[in-house]
Structure 1
Amino acid sequence: MELSLEEITKLTGGRVVAGESKNGYRGLAALNDASASDVSFLGNEKYYNDYLSTKAGLVLVPSVVTEFPDGPVYVEVENPSYAFGLVVKKLSSKMRSFKPGVHPSAYVAEDVKFDSAKVSIKANAVVESGSVIGDGTEIQAGAVIGENVTVGRDCLIYPNVTVREFCELGDRVIIQPGAVIGSDGYGYEFVDGAHQKVDQVGIVVLEDDVEIGANTTIDRARFGKTVIGEGTKIDNLVQIAHNVVTGKHCLVVALTGIAGSSSLGNNVTVAAQVGMAGHIHVGDKAILMSRTGVMKNLEGGQVYWGNPARPVKDQQRSVAAVARLPKLMTDFRELKKKVEQLGSE
């Protein structure tokens, strides 16, 4: 499987600015690891020395580059990282074969609605009664689709994923290995000296083009819906609690936890290890930096950092002030000694 230079320029909207193509390209690699059959890219000036010595066959470059060492073909694009991603997707789609049909070891209930000529269900997967599977969807080994689940078109469910009963997946949803969609929300009431479980009877809805990372857990609503909005991308090891609603095209990075009934607006970015308390809202286009603790509603369009979350400039000033405290204490002690000496004279 390989791509020609013509295919790559058409795919990326780029233009050849230097070099001459001698063959097709079938691999993808970093600048310092690439060979003559690989495509690579320069997306960060930190890797410029690697760029100058790369043995890649083709390099995607930004328009600001003016040096083109002998060897590779250089294709100028607006955004090298994004363009490289398009090449990755194209090559991986060629390498990955979609084979429709149901593996003999899989279990599919008799009343499941799907077209076996257009759906792939692999070894030891389970699809339970009442479910609907859209055309082009692949359910990989060991995945479990519970009762009355709806899965849209062209979804990719990786091994050992669990989608529990009544949950709904839109089109082109990707769920990485080990994720759990629709586990019970963490709901208890303390009655008669013991924690009594509160039944969680809602569902989870993953809208179109949502991606869920490995070992991420998204809890079903206590009642109603937990909703992950269209185009939202959730990283590995994220916990989304019951009745959380995210807007469209949000990014939620690894080790984040969002407590019950909280919500994100559209285009919100939540960096790694953020913690959000329950029943709060973060507005459109807000950015929560790593390890931010969110205790109250936050307006959209700002960058927040710290615990509790504050606008990043305010928090940076506080951090800088704290860093100066040891020297200020030393200066204070010296000044105090001088004052005491003057007083004793």
Structure 2
Amino acid sequence: MPDPRFYEDLGPATLSELARLTGGQLLSSERADLAIRSVAPLARADADSIGFFSDKRYVADLKATKAGACFVTQAVAGDVPEGCAAVVVDRPQVAWAAAANRLHRARRFETGVQAVDPTARLEEGVLVSPGVVIGADVQIGRGTRIGPGVVIGPGVTIGRDCEISARAVIGFAMIGDRVRIYAGAVIGEAGFGATVSASGIIDLPQLGRVLLQDNVTLGANCCIDRGAYDDTVVGENTKIDNLVHIAHNVRIGRNCLLAAYTGISGSTIVGDGVSMGGQAGVADHLVIGDGARIGAAAGVMKNVPAGETWGGFPAQPIRQWLRETAWLARMAAGRKSGGVE
């Protein structure tokens, strides 16, 4: 179930209602009145949830799921385990998105209320600058300073002795103690999730959170997306430069250093003590091992073992990349001196 501090529960809905909503065929008519209360990934779903299957890489999750129901295509309907009702659709992910919008909704700012919602709880010593907007049920710890024009969405928690600089925007987030967030950073907006429907490309609901642990520093104009369903996490004492983008479901370990313009794609796991140079780019669903070092402007397309230094594009172990670069330079110089243009 998405965190109720950030998402409203609009359920339940019966399976027959969800089948009608999505244009699906419920294969088990005796399950038509089953009440579904949430959407969930197959690996996280329970008897009150509905999941979807559209990628053969996750067939093990389908076979082991505890979901009450699942959107599937006709081709794999027979692989749905006993106890999980199959709803056959042409595009399972599109159907799951429609069900998510029926069952859950992100909490919104109430219109026409005070800039600081009366339900917000601010401990002694919190300093709030002009132009700050604080949503319902926000909690802010002692000694935290909130700069001009900051917007803090409903349900957000911020620890003690934090520094939130001007015009930062924070939503769907839980933030530890002594965290610094510099001007213009955006935390908790929806991650980049889209799929193709019969009517064109649609956005996929993003139902997760952002967790920033103690002593994290975020540079100006950073963007950290909330999880698609699970959380985006930045570990203790990690320091992030200006203009860094961290996509949904990324998990960054402790004591990492990320230089400006670094971009980490969705669901990548970064270990403890990792360093990334400026403009480093990391593809999705990778693992960067503890203590690894990624050179500036490197393009990481596969897993990086712990303790190794990689550079280049596509990134590879640094010595190999340097040898190849030197060889290319020699070949280019030889061709030029030989008169070949």
AA partner of residue 189 (structure 1): T
AA partner of residue 302 (structure 1): E
| Counterpart in the other structure of 2:145 | 138
Q: Does 1:189 align with 2:195?
A: yes
Deviations 1:118-147 (A, max 9, x none): 110110101110110000101111001100
Runs of 4+ in 1 over 2 A off after TM superposition: 326-334
| Counterpart in the other structure of 1:107 | 115
Secondary structure of the residue aligned to 2:188 is strand
| Counterpart in the other structure of 2:266 | 260
How much does 1:192 deviate? 1.6
Deviations 1:214-235 (A, max 9, x none): 0010000000200001000110
Deviations 1:140-198 (A, max 9, x none): 1100110000000000000000001x310000000000000001000000122511110
Q: Does 1:219 align with 2:225?
A: yes
Structure 2: distance between partners of 1:233 and 1:276: 17
Structure 1: distance between partners of 2:136 and 2:291: 40
Structure 2: distance between partners of 1:327 and 1:132: 63
Secondary structure of the residue aligned to 1:230 is coil
AA partner of residue 185 (structure 1): G
Structure 1 residues 238-277: aligned runs within 5 Å: 238-277=244-283
Q: Does 1:202 align with 2:208?
A: yes
Aligned length: 227
Deviations 1:194-253 (A, max 9, x none): 111100010100000000000010000000200001000110001100000000010011
State the structure with bigger RCO (CA 8 A, min sep 6), 1 or 2: 2
Structure 2: distance between partners of 1:265 and 1:302: 12
Structure 2: distance between partners of 1:240 and 1:192: 30
Structure 2: distance between partners of 1:248 and 1:282: 13
Deviations 1:285-329 (A, max 9, x none): 000010100001110111111011111111110010000113333
TM-score by length of 2: 0.65
| Counterpart in the other structure of 2:186 | 180
Secondary structure of the residue aligned to 1:159 is coil
Flag structure 1 segments of 5+ consecutive residues without an equivalent. Answer: 1-105, 335-345
| Counterpart in the other structure of 1:229 | 235
Q: Does 1:160 align with 2:167?
A: yes
How much does 1:331 deviate? 6.7
Structure 2: distance between partners of 1:260 and 1:326: 38
| Counterpart in the other structure of 1:318 | 324
Question: RMSD of aligned C-alpha atoms?
Answer: 1.4
| Counterpart in the other structure of 2:304 | 298
Secondary structure of the residue aligned to 2:330 is helix
| Counterpart in the other structure of 1:308 | 314
Structure 2: distance between partners of 1:190 and 1:199: 14
Q: Does 1:125 align with 2:132?
A: yes
AA partner of residue 256 (structure 2): C
> Which region of structure 1 is more displaced relative to structure 2, 192-201 or 120-129?
192-201
Deviations 1:24-46 (A, max 9, x none): xxxxxxxxxxxxxxxxxxxxxxx
Structure 1: distance between partners of 2:242 and 2:192: 20
Structure 1: distance between partners of 2:323 and 2:142: 54
AA partner of residue 143 (structure 2): G
Identity of aligned residues (%): 41
Structure 1: distance between partners of 2:115 and 2:306: 46
Structure 1: distance between partners of 2:230 and 2:333: 55
How much does 1:113 deviate? 1.2
How much does 1:330 deviate? 5.2
AA partner of residue 138 (structure 1): R
Q: Does 1:149 align with 2:178?
A: no
| Counterpart in the other structure of 2:53 | none
Q: 1:319 to 1:110 in 2, by over 3 A?
A: same
Secondary structure of the residue aligned to 1:323 is helix
| Counterpart in the other structure of 2:43 | none
Deviations 1:30-65 (A, max 9, x none): xxxxxxxxxxxxxxxxxxxxxxxxxxxxxxxxxxxx
AA partner of residue 140 (structure 2): I
AA partner of residue 119 (structure 1): V
